[in-house]
Amino acid sequence: MAKVNVKICMGTTCFVMGASQLQDLVDIAKKKYGEDVEVTGSTCLNFCTHSSEYSKAPYVTVNDTVIQEATIDKVLQEIDRKLNENE
Amino acid sequence: MSNNNSQSIHLKKEILARIIEAFLSDDYAENTRLIPYAMRPKGAEVPYRCCVYKERAILKERVKAGLGFALEDDDETQPLDKYAKAALERTKPEEDPLTVLDAACAGCVPSRIYVTDLCKGCVARPCQSACKFGAIDMVNGRSKIDGSKCKGCKMCMNACPYNAIVKLAVPCEDACPVGAIHKDDNGITRIDFDKCITCGKCVAACPFGAVNEKSQIIDILKNIKDTDKKVIAMFAPSLVGQLPGNIYQLKTAIKKAGFDEVVEVAQGADITTINEAKEFEERMEEGQPFMTTSCCAGYNRFVDKHLPELKEYRSTTGTPLYYTAELVRKANPDAVTVFVSPCVAKRKESMENPNVDYVMTYEELGALFIAKKIQITECEEDKSGVEGSKQARNFGNTTGVAEAVKSVAKNPDDIKPYVISGLTKETAKDLKKFVKDKSCSGCNLVEVMCCEGGCVGGNATLNLPRIARKELKTLLDSSEDLKRED
């Protein structure tokens, strides 16, 4: 089964707008999914600069899906969806 | 506890970033006027309020607070560009740092105990028997509370087997440790500034984001823009872990944002620690029962306004900011000094200290980085200047001040700390008891921090204390211990 890759944008904008608290996802995902999901912090993914849309920060990517105004719950839901697609 | 990721706080940071962007643009006044329209353009979805017009009206009020104005006596007929210009013209910030946005305030029904529809009108009537004030009658087969007799003791609530009785909450009022919040005739929240200790708990508590700080960001940007002026940032120890990167990268980032010099307030915390340890030893020798710390601005104001009997037990040592600003001013008499703060309480302390010109919260610093598109993790490390000690850098963390004092005390084992992590209605009662008993339950050094968890839980922080502390620990592990020379 292909691994699900989660990237949390840790650029300044996303961090200030709430990504700081998404760092918990690393531990949560490890506990919940083990080796099936990998969560990493990333340098700026440039979503905020593309459109000056910092109102939608923080951004997280789950494989190639971009999540705006990301919260831990939103990201976990998307991970579940991806894992179901994989099955 | 600070809820620094709620949507109302997200909104506040976005507005600050937009105000700063407008200031940096070629038409500051006009672009400020357009902020509510840019955030809620024609046809945009209406996320929170009844219609796009009300959304914009509230955003307009938020922008005014971001420009540093009070909403209590604002002139609604004036467009935002007038306010933007007026912000540039003022020479010093307004006195009281908090303001309530009328349009945003939901006018929550007054806090009281209320019998809901779940009441079965049972035969046992435990609520009636539990009420010591005879405030409960049976009306139409249900319990009804007579507001004029009810004391809000909650005995009936606890007695009801159906959980039919609830306390109607008013979050700002409930969070205020000193009863400084009341309703005006229209049910809108008003802050009594004679009682207010500017702790910022109402700012964090209101789910509508109706209590705002009056920002000084325009005043600061104006000084940065003036190339004749040297502007110096002094950052509090609790900044560590609030932004990406380490503090050395942060120093570079703050300079990139326009400051000429960046100073660690931990430098002053070292002086506070040594002075406080000496003072503690003197007081104990004189036979005093206990001493309290004096570094938290909210706590200091609480003592001054609400518990003056505690003054004689409070340390007379200056705050870390006091000593830092004194050193900075001495070395740079003409510079403009800006304290980078985790909370609104320090705004009030700074207004009373001629060595501190302005305060910029962590939220405002974050917004400044956003507007200037500064990537902190890409910045070089700047290790110039005085480094704070391990103890000083832990000052903004609960128990940090007591531990620092203990670390330099002649007889560390003589120090028995009592830690208050969060000034609430309950812990305020504990302090009153200490004064009354002239003793603090076997302890002798009372550390008081107004915010839960210490300054890392301040109302204007950007991270959860738990996560910020991990970054802090990394820094502490590589910092030098404080030495006392005498």
User: Is residue B483 included in any domain, yes or no?
Assistant: no
User: Is residue B2 included in any domain, yes or no?
Assistant: no
Distance CA B449, CA A23 (A): 27
What pLDDT score does B94 carry?
84
Residue A58 sits at the chain B interface (C-beta within 8 Å): no
* Separation in Å, CA of A68 to nearest CA in chain B: 13
Share of residues in chain B with pLDDT > 90 (%): 86
Question: Domain check: are B261 and B143 in the same one?
Answer: no
Residues 58-77 (B) with a CB less than 8 A from some CB of A:
none
Residue B463 sits at the chain A interface (C-beta within 8 Å): yes
Please give the average per-residue pLDDT across B45-71, as a whole number: 92
Residues of chain B in contact with residue A49, where contact means CB-CB under 8 angstroms, are 373
CATH number at residue B211: 3.30.70.20
Band (pLDDT 50/70/90 cuts) for residue B5 is: low
CB-CB under 8 Å, A12 with B366: yes
Question: Domain check: are B178 and B257 in the same one?
Answer: no
CATH number at residue B445: 3.40.950.10
Band (pLDDT 50/70/90 cuts) for residue B4 is: low
Distance CA B81, CA A2 (A): 54
What pLDDT score does B44 carry?
83
User: Is residue B323 included in any domain, yes or no?
Assistant: yes
Residue B242 sits at the chain A interface (C-beta within 8 Å): yes
Residue A24 sits at the chain B interface (C-beta within 8 Å): yes
CB-CB under 8 Å, B366 with A43: no
Count structural domains, chain B. Answer: 3
Domain boundary among B146, B168, B190: B168
Residues A34-79: tens digit of each pLDDT = 999 999 999 999 888 765 577 889 999 999 999 999 999 999 999 9
The Cβ of residue B346 has, within 10 Å, a number of other Cβ atoms equal to 28
CB-CB under 8 Å, A55 with B375: no
Residue among B203, B122, B187 nearest B159 (CA) = B122
User: Is residue B1 included in any domain, yes or no?
Assistant: no
Residues of chain B in contact with residue A15, where contact means CB-CB under 8 angstroms, are 243-244, 366, 462
Share of residues in chain B with pLDDT > 70 (%): 99
Residues of chain B in contact with residue A43, where contact means CB-CB under 8 angstroms, are 375, 377-378
What pLDDT score does B2 carry?
44
What pLDDT score does B321 carry?
98
* Separation in Å, CA of A9 to nearest CA in chain B: 11
* Separation in Å, CA of A1 to nearest CA in chain B: 32
CB-CB under 8 Å, A21 with B463: yes
Contact B214, B345 (CB under 8 A): no
Q: Which residue has the tokens 């319990």?
A: B143
Distance CA B213, CA B93 (A): 12
Distance CA B172, CA B187 (A): 13
pLDDT beyond 70 at B67: yes
What pLDDT score does B107 carry?
77
Q: Which of B4, B10, B256, B361 best tests the A interface by mutation, with the highest count of A CBs <10 A?
A: B10
User: Could you tell me which residues come within 8 angstroms of residue B154 by beta carbon, excluding any fewer than 6 positions away?
Assistant: B113, B167
What pLDDT score does B306 carry?
97
Residue B28 sits at the chain A interface (C-beta within 8 Å): no
Residue among B317, B314, B315 nearest B435 (CA) = B314
User: Is residue B189 included in any domain, yes or no?
Assistant: yes
Please give the average per-residue pLDDT across B178-186, as a whole number: 89
Question: Domain check: are B144 and B265 in the same one?
Answer: no
Question: Domain check: are B278 and B420 in the same one?
Answer: yes
Residues B363-403: tens digit of each pLDDT = 999 999 999 999 999 999 999 989 999 999 999 999 999 99
Question: Domain check: are B211 and B224 in the same one?
Answer: no
Residues of chain A in contact with residue B4, where contact means CB-CB under 8 angstroms, are 21
Question: Domain check: are B332 and B391 in the same one?
Answer: yes
Band (pLDDT 50/70/90 cuts) for residue B62 is: very high
User: Could you tell me which residues come within 8 angstroms of residue B405 by beta carbon, excluding any fewer than 6 positions away?
Assistant: B273, B276, B277, B280, B293, B415, B445
DSSP class of A22: G
- How many pairs of residues across A and B have Cβ atoms under 8 Å apart? 60
Residues 347-376 (B) with a CB less than 8 A from some CB of A:
363, 366-367, 369-370, 373-376
Preceding omega of A58 cis (within 30 degrees of 0)? yes
Strand partners, A5: A38
User: Is residue B457 included in any domain, yes or no?
Assistant: yes
Please give the average per-residue pLDDT across B181-206, as a whole number: 91
Please give the average per-residue pLDDT across B340-366, as a whole number: 96
Question: Domain check: are B239 and B326 in the same one?
Answer: yes
The secondary element (H helix, E strand) that includes residue A37 is strand A37-42
Smallest CA–CA distance from B376 into chain A, residue:
A12
A16, A44, A55: residue with CB nearest B243? A16
CB-CB under 8 Å, A10 with B467: no
What pLDDT score does B110 carry?
79
What pLDDT score does B1 carry?
38
Please give the average per-residue pLDDT across B412-431, as a whole number: 95
* Separation in Å, CA of A84 to nearest CA in chain B: 30
B17, B367, B463: residue with CB nearest A20? B463
Residue B243 sits at the chain A interface (C-beta within 8 Å): yes
Question: Domain check: are B136 and B263 in the same one?
Answer: no
pLDDT beyond 80 at B472: yes
Chain-centroid distance of CA B74 in Å reads 24
User: Is residue B486 included in any domain, yes or no?
Assistant: no
Residue A18 sits at the chain B interface (C-beta within 8 Å): yes
pLDDT beyond 50 at B345: yes
CB-CB under 8 Å, A12 with B376: yes
Residue A46 sits at the chain B interface (C-beta within 8 Å): no
Question: Domain check: are B187 and B321 in the same one?
Answer: no
Residues of chain B in contact with residue A21, where contact means CB-CB under 8 angstroms, are 4-5, 463-464, 467
Question: Domain check: are B46 and B142 in the same one?
Answer: no
Distance CA B59, CA B105 (A): 13
Question: Domain check: are B30 and B133 in the same one?
Answer: no
What pLDDT score does B242 carry?
96
User: Is residue B482 included in any domain, yes or no?
Assistant: no
What pLDDT score does A53 carry?
72
Domain of residue B77: give its range: 7-107+173-215
CB-CB under 8 Å, A43 with B467: no
Residues A19-37: tens digit of each pLDDT = 999 999 999 999 999 999 9
pLDDT beyond 60 at B211: yes
Residues B68-126: tens digit of each pLDDT = 999 988 898 999 999 999 999 999 888 899 999 988 888 788 788 999 999 999 999 99
Tell me the two tokens of residue B231: 């502007």
Question: Domain check: are B318 and B265 in the same one?
Answer: yes
Residues of chain A in contact with residue B253, where contact means CB-CB under 8 angstroms, are 12
Smallest CA–CA distance from B5 into chain A, residue:
A18
Residue A43 sits at the chain B interface (C-beta within 8 Å): yes
pLDDT beyond 70 at B240: yes
* Separation in Å, CA of B257 to nearest CA in chain A: 13
